[in-house]
Structure 1
Amino acid sequence: MNPSTAFAGVMVDELIRGGVQHAVLAPGSRSAPVALALASAERSGRLRLHVRTDERSAGFLALGLAKGSGRPVPVLTTSGTAAAHLHAAVLEASYSGVPL
C-alpha cells in the first residue's frame, strides 16, 4: 500500500469515528486516494457516499445533509478551481453554524 492510500484510509476512519455518516464526492484524479477510501467505507456500510459531478451541487448537497442531520458532512473535490466552486456553500454553512 502506498503512503497516499494509507493516509486516505486513516483520514476516512477518523472522520467516521468523529461522527460522519454522509460524505459528498465530486471526483477528480487528484483526490483519487481519498475518493477510493470513501467508496470502500460505503461498501462496508460505514457511511453513505453521495457522488455528484458538479462541485456547486456537491457543496449544497453537503450543506443540506449537514443541516438535516446536525452532523458534519465532508465534501471532497479535486484540486484547483474545483474547490472554489464550494465557496457559496461553505459561506452559507459558516454563517448558519452548520458543520460542513
Structure 2
Amino acid sequence: MRDAELEILAKKTIRADILKVGHHGAKTSTSTTFLKYVKPKYAVISVGKNAYGHPTKEVVMNLKRAKATMLRADKSGTIVFEGNGSSYTIKKSK
C-alpha cells in the first residue's frame, strides 16, 4: 500500500481536504510521507469491529501528527460529506 502512495506522489502534487484512509487503517497504509504531501483536514476511516486491530496505533498516531481530524465509522456510524464545489458539510448518523 505504501508503494502505491509513493507512486502517486512521484507523478504529481496531490492535496486533499478529505482523505479516505487506506485499508481500514492497516499499518501498511497512510504513511507519514503521504500525509506530509496530502495534508488532509479530515481523515475518514471505514472500519468496524475487527480482529486485525484496525485502525492500527501507528496510523492513528500518523493522523494525529498530521493534525487531521479523524472520523471513524465504528464510532460515528455513516459519514457523509456533501459539497457544492467550493464548500462542504459533514453528516454523521449512528
TM-score by length of 2: 0.38
- Return the structure number with greater relative CO, CA threshold 8 A, min gap 6: 1
The structure carrying a bigger strand percent of its residues is: 2
Length-normalised TM-score, structure 1: 0.37
Q: Could you say which structure has the higher helix fraction?
A: 1
